[in-house]
Amino acid sequence: MAGGSVSECKEYLFKVLVIGELGVGKTSIIKRYVHQLFSQHYRATIGVDFALKVINWDSKTLVRLQLWDIAGQERFGNMTRVYYKEAVGAFVVFDVTRGSTFEAVSKWKHDLDSKVKLANGSPIPSVLLANKCDQKKETTSNTSLMDNFCRETGFLGWFETSAKDNINVDEAARFLVENILANDKGLPYEETNGDRIKLHQETVAAESKSGCC
Amino acid sequence: MASEQLPSEFDVVILGTGLVESVVAAACSRVGQRVLHLDRRSYYAGKWASFTFNGLLSWIEEQSKITASEEHDWSSQLEDGEDLIGLTTGDVSQVTNLQVFNYTSEEEEQVPSLEEEAKEDEEEDEGGADQTPAGETQEEGAPSSESEVKEEINTPAQKSQPEKSKKRLTYAELLKEGRRFNIDLVSKLLYSRGALIDLLIKSNVSRYAEFKNVIRILTCRHGNIEQVPCSRSDVFSSKLLSVVEKRMLMRFLTSCLDRDTPLLYQDFAERPYLEFLQYQKLSENLQHFLIHSIAMTTPDTPTAAALAATQHFLKCLGRYGNTPFLFPLYGLGEIPQCFCRMCAVFGGIYCLRHSVHALVVDKCSSRCKAVIDSTGQRISCSHLVLEEGCFTQTAPPTRCVSRAVLITDGSVLPTEAEQQVSIVTIPSESPVRMVELCPSSMTCIPGTHLVHLTCQSVGSAFEDLSPVVNRMFRTPDSDHPEPRPEVLWCLYFNMPEGLESEGGELPPNVSVCLGPDGSLGHDGAIAQAELIFQKILPGEEFCPPGPAPEDILYQGEEPDASPAQPGEEPEASSSQPGEEPEASSSQPGEEPDTGTSNQGEEPEASSSHQGEAEASPTCKGEESETSPSQQGEEPDASSSPCTEDSDTCPNQLEDGTQG
């Protein structure tokens, strides 16, 4: 998925999935992160495939992050392969005010790991987001419990986030991208994608040869 | 994950996720219809599916099980003046004559157990009877329980070629790497100017898929595999043709394209193509290429039809490469899923392992008012679209396709060059077409090729295709002096072609989608989908382009760096300060509605709005919106060496994926 480099700048395109139960704030997190916006109105995600965030990671690295929402209504967990394929990272989101959405986290993680893997066969890096922390009632933090849960379930880590108050969204993204980049450096690209064709790229050169004779 | 109940009202309910159903689903959802899309299976695409190796093994197992239709009484769900029409609830794939042969070695190949040896003998008997296969396994229509017997059969390293130092793939490795296979049940290619490619482009669904060009068109003649020259450069560089032949072929192909008025061949229109070619004084060499590889037909096909096929072939050359064909990365099963994703993105609801058990029909209008789903829920709908085979069938399928799927250890025509996807046409009574896929098509693992053979059924798939397999490849039953790729694993089965008109009289608002036909392209399926769509929504546009994601949302870099109409959009100012991740903490309390207007959507997801809402978020609006913010960002961005580069963002994005 990495793009070609221009001068000394290395450019990456990373597809990151954002999954979790209905109404946990997946779209809000994406909007907050990409557009710095938050909407109170609940709205199923319509007409939007993914949001693109461009990060000038450092002076030599440009990262284009495609954040793929689960198209709101693919909510029964039956995502197409189109959704999963070639993803290199994932956020699994739950709502701290609704315990049932946390219980579903393991299922989502399991589903994720069964559907997509890195080229070397290991699971894609994923980060757990405990969203809506601004609405959390109890103040006691169960950090060690969550740490354990992440270790057992295979998450790199977890963040308490609030798309509404803009808490930890950038930090979580930064953490995930760091891990994706680390993976990327460790793994040479397996296949050269040079001969892959995107349909809207019919070339003028090819066109001129049209008709063969 | 799947705990919620489905909403109880939709505009269109669609059962089955094959290509036709999925295109209809995307088209309806795209123009604002509320779509419920179900599949009784646990996977997408039905007969059009592609499987991992392990997934294919499960599928094979499923086919041998006879799933009994469950009986339910849903009459309690009926209101006055309503009738029920029950649907079959068992699986309806109707695949027959399924046979599996495994020629990989086990890990401990030195000591095959007694049991394995016994099995091996049994299999040798059967396979050895090549032309007249053991009757009991070949009965047409018999549910194939044979597959279990033959699976796991192991014929360790027999006839291993001394010149071959390559390590043989073991069955355990095949299973371990199984997820990297994408094995299609249907073998088709996309004509570069065919209806499917046009639809993918028009609808923007193409952004979900990438393709490989089919690089070579091969044919099998006198036991040799030869590359068919079809583009100008091929013709000139071909070593198979004499100078005179080259000239004749070029002249002939040129005249095919020019010929709008069929003057030259009118006497031949209904006569065999072969006669026409002979009359044109084309050599045998050329006749072979023109009949089998370019028109992909038979010598006795009427000339008019063969020339139409030839023209289609020629017109498709050069759009994406030197052959007319493309193959989707990750297999054909990807295509229906691309349309499903599109449908979901526009609000379609998806549920697998979920079915429709009965139709609720209004006695007066005889229209289908609602369906009863597999949980017994009544879901009202204005239109219902069903995959084929939902109604109990009495007549056996009239036409079948014979299929073979092979995992081999190399290409039938190895080259020095990079990996290639090839189509091979093999003339025979029922012409066989073979598509050979390489690992870079993301359908098989390095060191293997995935080969699909297809022909119209005369007998069982094994009867029809195993002679070709033995001729083209090395198997325990073949005997070749020259080296041939070895078959590691293979599967044979018959699949009925899409059947016209089933189930007799249907309510007027119910449509039935046919399964895949035996042709190479997809024009039939797309035409059918468009017809169904127009029946449901007369006058609506079929799959208008969806917005490109990079056009909808935005911030940061823009293709057009010119400072266009600063501050034109009210929301531009609100998104301005917070562009950079670093600056994120700014403005915690912006207006709630900016988020929605940003995407040009209505706040309520009401279905009637989705269609039009769509039209607005085009580049233009976004440009003016984002340009100011880019200016705001300038100081920061200019410090990075990537600035110029990011100016060309959307194109770069595509190029980036390209490599």
Digit-coded pLDDT (tens) for B467-495: 999 999 998 888 777 788 999 999 999 99
Spatial CB neighbours of A3, under 8 Å, sequence gap ≥ 6: A11, A12, A13, A64, B652, B655, B656, B657
Largest distance between two CA atoms of chain B: 82
Q: pLDDT below 70 — which residues of chain A?
A: 1-8, 39-47, 72-75, 138-141, 185-194, 201-213
Q: How far apart are CA B289 and CA B253, in angstroms?
A: 12
Q: Please tell me which residue of chain B has the smallest CA distance to A206.
A: B318
Question: Which pTM value belongs to this model?
Answer: 0.79
Whether the CB-CB separation of A27 and A69 falls below 8 Å is answered with yes
Q: How far is B44 from chain A (nearest CA, A)?
A: 7
| Lowest pLDDT segment from B283-297, B392-406, B419-433, B480-494 | B392-406
Mutate to test the interface with A, among B553, B601, B652 (most CBs of A within 10 A): B553
Whether the CB-CB separation of A98 and A135 falls below 8 Å is answered with no
Spatial CB neighbours of B447, under 8 Å, sequence gap ≥ 6: B166, B169, B409, B439
Under an 8 A CB cutoff, do A52 and B653 touch? yes
Q: Which residue from B257, B321, B337 is facing A80, i.e. has the nearest CB? A: B337
Portion of chain B with pLDDT greater than 70, in percent: 69
Q: Which residue from B44, B549, B557 is facing A48, i.e. has the nearest CB? A: B549
Task: Check pLDDT > 60 for residue B585.
Answer: no
What DSSP string runs through B221-266? ETTEEEEPP-SHHHHHH-SSS-HHHHHHHHHHHHHHHH-SSTTTTG
Strand pairing report for B449-456 and A89-95: unpaired
A24-33, A152-161, B575-584, B633-642: range with highest mean pLDDT: A152-161
Q: How far is B380 from chain A (nearest CA, A)?
A: 18
Nearest alpha-carbon partner for B611 in B621, B619, B623, B602:
B602
Q: Provide the 10 A C-beta neighbour count for residue B26.
A: 30
Q: How far is B559 from chain A (nearest CA, A)?
A: 13
Task: Check pLDDT > 80 for residue B226.
Answer: yes
B635 vs A76, more confident: A76
pLDDT, one tens digit per residue, over A45-78 is 566 778 889 999 988 889 999 999 887 566 677 7
Under an 8 A CB cutoff, do B587 and A36 touch? yes
Nearest alpha-carbon partner for B431 in B514, B327, B313, B520:
B520
The verdict on A23 touching B (C-beta cutoff 8 Å) is no
Whether the CB-CB separation of B232 and A209 falls below 8 Å is answered with yes
Q: How confident is the model at residue B499 (pLDDT cuts 50, 70, 90)?
A: low
Whether the CB-CB separation of B12 and B383 falls below 8 Å is answered with yes
Q: How far is B472 from chain A (nearest CA, A)?
A: 27
Whether the CB-CB separation of B94 and B496 falls below 8 Å is answered with yes
Structure tokens at A62: 């440009």
Task: Check pLDDT > 90 for residue B361.
Answer: yes
Under an 8 A CB cutoff, do A76 and B637 touch? no
Axis-axis angle for helices B19-30, B607-615 (nearest 10): 80
Whether the CB-CB separation of A2 and A11 falls below 8 Å is answered with yes
Cα-based torsion angle of the residue sequence A30, A34, A37, A38 in order, rounded to the nearest 10 degrees = 10
The verdict on A98 touching B (C-beta cutoff 8 Å) is no
Q: How far apart are CA A207 and CA B221, in angstroms?
A: 32
Quick check: helix, strand or coil at residue B404? Answer: strand
Q: Provide the 10 A C-beta neighbour count for residue A106.
A: 14
Q: What's the residue count for chain A? A: 213
Backbone angles phi, psi at B594, to 5 degrees: -65, -35
What's residue B367's pLDDT?
Answer: 95
Q: How far apart are CA B434 and CA B231, in angstroms?
A: 20
The verdict on A34 touching B (C-beta cutoff 8 Å) is yes
DSSP class of residue B169 equals P
Sort B272 into a burial class: Cβ within 10 Å, 0-12 / 13-18 / 19+: middle
Under an 8 A CB cutoff, do A73 and B349 touch? yes
Spatial CB neighbours of B548, under 8 Å, sequence gap ≥ 6: B204, B207, B650
Q: How far apart are CA B200 and CA B209, in angstroms?
A: 9
| Lowest pLDDT segment from B53-67, B151-165, B361-375 | B151-165
Q: List CB contacts (< 8 A) between A41 and chain B.
A: 592-593, 596, 603
Sort B235 into a burial class: Cβ within 10 Å, 0-12 / 13-18 / 19+: buried
Query: In whole numbers, what is the pLDDT of chain B averaged over residues?
Result: 76
Q: List CB contacts (< 8 A) between A46 and chain B.
A: 345-347, 601, 605, 610, 613
Q: What share of chain B is helix, strand, coil (3-state, %, to 5)?
A: 35, 20, 45
In B484-578, where does DSSP find H-type helix? 523-536, 549-552, 570-575
Q: How far is A172 from chain B (nearest CA, A)?
A: 11
Q: How far apart are CA B264 and CA B90, in angstroms?
A: 54
Portion of chain B with pLDDT greater than 90, in percent: 49
Under an 8 A CB cutoff, do B1 and A13 touch? no
| The amino acid at B91 | D
Kindly provide the ipTM of the predicted complex, given to two decimals.
0.85
Q: List CB contacts (< 8 A) between A173 and chain B.
A: 581
CA distances from B351 to A79, B71, B232, B469, B552 (A): 9, 22, 49, 39, 27
Whether the CB-CB separation of B465 and B400 falls below 8 Å is answered with no
| The amino acid at A109 | K
Tell me which residues of chain A, numbers 103 to 162, contact chain B at a CB-CB cutoff of 8 Å: 104, 107-108, 111, 117
Q: How far is B352 from chain A (nearest CA, A)?
A: 6
How many Cα atoms sit within 13 Å of A129 on the Cβ side?
A: 32
Under an 8 A CB cutoff, do B575 and A82 touch? no
Please name the residue that has the structure tokens 């969204």.
A169
Interface A-B: count of C-beta contacts within 8 A: 280
Q: Is the dihedral of CA A19, A131, A32, A14 positive or negative?
A: negative
pLDDT, one tens digit per residue, over B177-199 is 998 999 999 999 999 999 999 99
Sort B298 into a burial class: Cβ within 10 Å, 0-12 / 13-18 / 19+: middle
Q: List CB contacts (< 8 A) between A169 and chain B.
A: 584
What's residue B318's pLDDT?
Answer: 86
Whether the CB-CB separation of B373 and B360 falls below 8 Å is answered with no
A43 vs B537, more confident: B537
pLDDT, one tens digit per residue, over B240-289 is 889 999 999 998 988 888 766 556 677 888 899 999 999 989 999 899 99
| The amino acid at B606 | S
Under an 8 A CB cutoff, do A76 and B1 touch? yes
Q: List CB contacts (< 8 A) between A197 and chain B.
A: 210-213, 320-321, 326
Q: How far is B616 from chain A (nearest CA, A)?
A: 12
Q: Which residue from B350, B547, B659 is facing A47, i.e. has the nearest CB? A: B547
The whole-number average pLDDT for the span B504-526 is 91
Q: List CB contacts (< 8 A) between A52 and chain B.
A: 549-550, 553-554, 653
Q: Which residues of B66-104 are buried (b: 16+ CB within 10 A; e: fewer)?
A: eeeeeeeebeeebeeebeebbbbbebbbbbbbbbbbbbb
What's residue B372's pLDDT?
Answer: 95
Q: How far is A15 from chain B (nearest CA, A)?
A: 11
The verdict on A198 touching B (C-beta cutoff 8 Å) is yes
The whole-number average pLDDT for the span B420-432 is 91
pLDDT, one tens digit per residue, over B294-313 is 999 999 999 989 999 999 99
Q: How confident is the model at residue B223 (pLDDT cuts 50, 70, 90)?
A: confident
Spatial CB neighbours of B58, under 8 Å, sequence gap ≥ 6: B51
Q: List CB contacts (< 8 A) between A196 and chain B.
A: 210-212, 329, 657-659
- Starting from the edge strand earliest in sequence, which strands make up the sheet with B12-15, in order? B349-352, B35-39, B12-15, B383-387, B510-513
The whole-number average pLDDT for the span B59-75 is 79
Task: Check pLDDT > 80 for residue B23.
Answer: yes
The verdict on A48 touching B (C-beta cutoff 8 Å) is yes
Spatial CB neighbours of B89, under 8 Å, sequence gap ≥ 6: B40, B69, B70, B355, B357, B374
Task: Check pLDDT > 50 for residue B333.
Answer: yes
The verdict on A207 touching B (C-beta cutoff 8 Å) is yes
What's the angle, vertex CA B497, arms to CA B495 and CA B498, rounded to 5? 130
Q: How far apart are CA B520 and CA B610, in angstroms?
A: 36
Under an 8 A CB cutoff, do A44 and B1 touch? no
Q: List CB contacts (< 8 A) between B645 and chain A.
A: 6, 9, 11, 62
Under an 8 A CB cutoff, do B614 and A22 touch? no
B67 vs B341, more confident: B341
Whether the CB-CB separation of B642 and A56 falls below 8 Å is answered with yes
The verdict on A46 touching B (C-beta cutoff 8 Å) is yes
As beta bridge partners, residue B15 has B38, B386
DSSP class of residue B144 equals -
Q: Which residue from A62, A165, A198 is facing B642, i.e. has the nearest CB? A: A62
Strand pairing report for B383-387 and B12-15: parallel
Sort B299 into a burial class: Cβ within 10 Å, 0-12 / 13-18 / 19+: middle
A191-205, B557-571, B604-618: range with highest mean pLDDT: A191-205
Axis-axis angle for helices B195-203, B523-536 (nearest 10): 50
The verdict on A194 touching B (C-beta cutoff 8 Å) is yes
Q: List CB contacts (< 8 A) between B546 and chain A.
A: 47
Strand pairing report for B432-437 and B449-456: antiparallel
The verdict on A37 touching B (C-beta cutoff 8 Å) is yes
